[in-house]
Amino acid sequence: MKRFIHLILFLVLAIAVAHSQESPKIKFGNVTAADLQHTVYSVDSSADAVVIADIGHTNFVGNMKGTFSLEFKKFKRAHILNKNGYDIADVSISLYTNGQMEEDLENLKAVTYNLENGKVVETKLDVKNAVFKDRINKNWVVRKFTFPNIKAGSIIEYEYKVKSDFIFNLQPWEFQGAYPRLWSEYNVRMPEFYTYVTLTQGYQKYYINDRKDSRDNFYMAESRGVGATERASFNAGVTDFRWAMKDVPALKEESYTSTINNHISKIEFQFKSINHPFEYKNFMDSWPVVSKQLLNDEDFGLQLRKDNGWLNDVMKAATGGAGSEADKARNIYNWVRDNFTCTNYNRKYLEQPLKNLLKSKNGNEAEINLLLTAMLLKADLKADPVMLSTRSHGYAHAVYPLMERYNHVIAKVKIDGKDVFLDASHPELGYGHLNYDCYNGQARVIDNDATVIEMDAGSLKEKSVISLFIINDEKGNSVGSLQKAPGYYESLRIRSKVKEKGKDNYFAELKKSFGTEIKMSNERIDSLTKLDDPVGVFFDFDFTGEKEDIIYFNPMLIEGYKENPFKSAKRYYPVEMPFALDETYNMQMEIPTGYVVDELPKQMVMKMNEEGDGTFEYRVSVSGNNISFRSRLVINRTFYLPEEYEMLREFFNLVVKKHNEQIVFKKK
């Protein structure tokens, strides 16, 4: 009897699990009044909109060209809960093109449902007149539309099919986005004669991750002219993949994020090979093979390998008569940076010959840095181009040469046995400096070996020191001076701001950031034009506020952490800081004339963790008539996993708390 009961329980559980893994019973057009009356969903009670279901299918179907096409179908339903969720009603469908052919968008239907007087009212999209086409670049077009008659409470749904002869463009799938998703599912029926590399990312677990192997009959045909068609059929293995996620939280961009696209839970495919019964062909080469192809590519490296006699006329001016390799490299870099203007960013190939660039003085990022590389080689220096992906573009893949993952080219030159990285496309960068956006993991030197370089954000440390001195003048008023030595990247920001709005505007904004009313004088900024070095900021100030019986004085007069940069209670993806930090703030202050210290903040020194990935020092003391204050914040690590977020957030909570504490002065 016990065995029988256990068997029954097992079967019940098995049936329950099997049933729970079924897709939600949602059909296009089947929206009820009860569906429209939902106002809150448990997945996120504060959501402005919720994706109820997002389901895709890809199948391989024979065509009339003697091969196969991809057939992708998509269905999506969402509920707009308030006006802040209206943007979910804007839909873009990307279609690949090679100039001669374009993927076909078929059977598009889209409907808005509203509840009016207790009845469900449908408003259908006018597909013929309300769908627009935009060309993004030579390989991508977008079909766009906006759902009609949307309002708070609307349910929207659409479905379509994309027919594609580009077998390499197996549709990716995003399980996550800006709004929570109750159900997200992707199905691919993949035949054994095509091989793809599957790439996954994200931090959400699959609710379903199944594959089933079987065999099936495949049919295709090839037209041989008028009335002549050759048909073929064969039997081959096929794998049905099914991936699904349930109750997926929204993913919104937060502070210290490279790009949200790095962290969305998604699956992508890269075409690798064609197999039996077709003739075997490999479509994914190794990095050394791809690198050699780039070196022989007319639009990339071929011009670096030529004699380039057309450079002879400018090399003397560019090298400036330098003797050492280091001076040659520096002078050539400065000459290219100062004489050429970057007109297009996020480019990795030439769009004009380098000889034309030399005449026009205008070019894209790749052109300017490939010209720089060519000139370094012309000066008999060991130089190579480097291809990378910037932080804002996303991670490059560590193993596979997926060229669409790259968007930037810089130059590398070896000086005294050390690699120096150069980017002449940005006019504000000094020799040997790159924007922190370039430090985004793995990069590749485009040489015979496709040498790997790790561009680690943790290798950058932004070190800044602020020193304040406050004394009492002969009239008993508090006056002071400030010296600021910012880090290199803050110096870039200061140079940019001064160039754009002027020095007076910069100091006016700096004055506003002070924690109290002051009058500034003797303002100056050193090293504004010395791009290899950080700047220096100096000014004097007088306190202009009224003297009360009790003065509340925050020693962090400038640049303290007034609020925590990590506001969310929970984070679903890593924290990616652009560089490590070492921020020191020193103040020496005479106690204001006629006052005594009534309250002094408590001192503290703390570590973020046992490994010392972050430390915070807050020291304040009184000696005679003087107050000494010091705050130092050091962050040694730039990358923190989601499970470390609470530790990081609490650490900054304490920093914010201390930076907002006051010294209390009381009148004698």
pLDDT digits (tens, 9 = 90+) for 541-571: 999 878 889 999 999 999 899 999 999 998 9
83 vs 87: CA distance, rounded Å: 9
467 vs 537: CA distance, rounded Å: 11
Q: What is the pLDDT of residues 268-297, one digit of tens each?
A: 999 999 998 889 999 988 999 999 999 999
Q: What is the pLDDT of residues 44-61, one digit of tens each?
A: 999 999 999 999 999 999
45 vs 187: CA distance, rounded Å: 29
DSSP H or E segment with residue 131:
none
Contacts 24+ apart (CB under 8 A), 348-351: 348/300, 348/387, 348/403, 348/406, 348/407, 348/408, 348/409, 349/297, 349/299, 349/300, 350/298, 350/299, 350/300, 350/303, 351/299
- Residue 308 near residue 378 (C-beta atoms within 8 A): yes
Sort strands 49-62 and 181-191 into parallel, antiparallel or unpaired: parallel
Sort strands 580-590 and 461-472 into parallel, antiparallel or unpaired: parallel
Span 78-93, average pLDDT:
97
Q: Where are the alpha helices (DSSP H) in 570-644?
A: none
Query: Any idea which residue has 């008569």 for tokens?
Result: 321
pTM for the predicted model, two decimal places: 0.86
Residue 498's SS3 state is helix
Q: Where are the alpha helices (DSSP H) in 201-249?
A: none
Burial class (CB in 10 A: 0-12, 13-18, 19+), 502: exposed
Question: What residues does CATH 2.60.120.1130 cover in the chain?
Answer: 461-667
457: which 2 tokens? 């954000």
Kindly give the interhelix angle for 365-378 and 312-319, rounded to the nearest 10 degrees.
90
| Exposure of 364 in the CB half-sphere (CA atoms within 13 A) | 16
Q: Does residue 92 have a pLDDT over 90?
A: yes
- Share of residues in the chain with pLDDT > 90 (%): 84
409 vs 444: CA distance, rounded Å: 10
37: which 2 tokens? 């009356």
95 vs 171: CA distance, rounded Å: 10
**DSSP conformation class of 457:** G
| Count of Cβ atoms closer than 10 Å to residue 138 Cβ | 9
DSSP H or E segment with residue 499:
helix 488-501
Identify which has the larger pLDDT, 423 or 515: 423
- What is the pLDDT of the chain when averaged over all its residues? 92
| Count of Cβ atoms closer than 10 Å to residue 219 Cβ | 12
133 vs 92: CA distance, rounded Å: 9
Cβ-based neighbours of 106, under 8 Å, separated by 6 or more: 160, 161, 162, 163
Contacts 24+ apart (CB under 8 A), 489-495: 489/436, 489/462, 489/578, 489/579, 490/462, 490/464, 490/534, 491/527, 491/533, 491/534, 491/535, 492/428, 492/429, 492/435, 494/525, 494/535, 494/537, 495/428, 495/528, 495/531, 495/535
Q: Does residue 390 have a pLDDT over 80?
A: yes
303 vs 378: CA distance, rounded Å: 12
Select from 3.30.420.40, 3.10.620.30, 3.30.70.2190, 3.40.640.10 the CATH code of 287-455.
3.10.620.30
According to the CATH classification, is domain 461-667 in 2.60.120.1130?
A: yes
Identify which has the larger pLDDT, 166 or 25: 166
Span 215-227, average pLDDT:
82
- Residue 421 near residue 432 (C-beta atoms within 8 A): yes
Q: Does residue 527 have a pLDDT over 90?
A: yes
- 221 phi and psi, to 5 degrees? -145, 160
Of 87, 105, 170, 98, residue with least CA distance to 142: 105
Could you tell me how far CA 520 lies from the centroid of its own chain? 39
Amino acid at 285: D
87: which 2 tokens? 């943007």
Span 394-420, average pLDDT:
93
Of 184, 347, 163, 356, residue with least CA distance to 266: 184
Confidence band, pLDDT 50/70/90 cuts, at residue 137: confident
Query: Which pLDDT does position 305 carry in this prediction?
Result: 80
List the beta bridge partners of residue 273: 195, 282
* β strands within 502-563, DSSP E: 518-526, 536-543, 550-553
Amino acid at 120: V
- Residue 408 near residue 387 (C-beta atoms within 8 A): yes
Residue 56's SS3 state is strand
Amino acid at 137: N
Of 144, 178, 209, residue with least CA distance to 51: 178
Sequential DSSP letters for 308-365? -GGGHHHHHHHHTT--SHHHHHHHHHHHHHHH-EEEE-S--S-SS-HHHHHHH-EEEH
Question: What residues does CATH 2.60.40.3140 cover in the chain?
Answer: 48-282
513: which 2 tokens? 């950031």
According to the CATH classification, is domain 48-282 in 2.60.40.3140?
A: yes
275 vs 164: CA distance, rounded Å: 20
- Residue 630 near residue 585 (C-beta atoms within 8 A): yes
Span 614-623, average pLDDT:
97
Query: Which pLDDT does position 1 carry in this prediction?
Result: 44
Cβ-based neighbours of 607, under 8 Å, separated by 6 or more: 614, 615
Of 486, 476, 437, 451, residue with least CA distance to 585: 486
